[in-house]
Structure 1
Amino acid sequence: MFVLELTYTADLESVEAVLPQHVQWLREHYAAGTFLASGRKVPRDGGVIIAVGEDRAFVEALVATDPFVRAGLTEYRVTEFLATTTAEELAAHRQQLPA
């Protein structure tokens, strides 16, 4: 599982201009089952996405397709973790520690 932390590198007016494309991108990845949760950070200097993916390379390639990234409006920090304990609603995404 991955935590994707976005940090805006441009003013909010520029971010707002591309927000509809970013939201569509989010919807596509929710529909594909890749994104589990997302939202704005408080204060509003970026956002956070909880994602699943086959490996880090897959997720980093996915991040590069975000319209915010393509427009040069944000930087991503990708943190991979093993979700060994989850709420029941996320049971399908529980992971095992390596042997």
Structure 2
Amino acid sequence: MFILSLTYTAELSEVDRHIEPHMDWVKNGYDRGVFLASGRKNPRTGGVILARGTRAEIEAIVAVDPFTIHGVADYEITEVAVTRTAPGLEGLTQ
């Protein structure tokens, strides 16, 4: 599993110009079965996505995020070997 932590590198007004295509990109990640959970950081300085796949797949997906393309956010990609979960979240260990 991967934790994608994105941090805005532009003013929120510039980020907001790209929010709709970014959300389409997020939806596509869910539709493809790659994204497991996502949301905004609080305070609103970026967001976090839980994802599955290979590092190469994740890096390729991040590369086509409109936030990446337009340079309004940077990503930190952290791989996690999940070994234990709460009941109902066993799928995260795959």
Q: TM-score, normalised by structure 2?
A: 0.93
Instruction: Output the CA distance in 2 between the equivalents of 1:33 and 1:62.
Output: 12
Work out whether 1:16 is the aligned partner of 2:2. no
How many percent identity over aligned positions?
50
Paired position in structure 1 for 2:65: 66
Instruction: Output the CA distance in 2 between the equivalents of 1:61 and 1:89.
Output: 29
Instruction: Output the CA distance in 2 between the equivalents of 1:45 and 1:3.
Output: 16
Q: Tell me the alpha carbon deviations over residues 64-90 of structure 1, each in whole angstroms, 9 at most, x when there is no partner.
A: 110100011000000001111123333
Paired position in structure 1 for 2:55: 56
Instruction: Output the CA distance in 2 between the equivalents of 1:68 and 1:7.
Output: 10
Q: Tell me the alpha carbon deviations over residues 33-61 of structure 1, each in whole angstroms, 9 at most, x when there is no partner.
A: 100111110111100000001x2111111
Q: TM-score, normalised by structure 1?
A: 0.89
Using CA pairs below 8 Å that are at least 6 residues apart, which structure has the higher relative contact order? 2
* Runs (5+) with no aligned partner, structure 1: none
Aligned CA-pair RMSD: 1.1
Instruction: Output the CA distance in 2 between the equivalents of 1:80 and 1:87.
Output: 19
| Paired residue total | 94
Moved over 3 A (4+): none
The one-letter code of the counterpart of 2:82 is A
Instruction: Output the CA distance in 2 between the equivalents of 1:23 and 1:57.
Output: 22
The higher radius of gyration belongs to: 1
Instruction: Output the CA distance in 2 between the equivalents of 1:80 and 1:66.
Output: 19
* Runs (5+) with no aligned partner, structure 2: none
Paired position in structure 2 for 1:45: 45
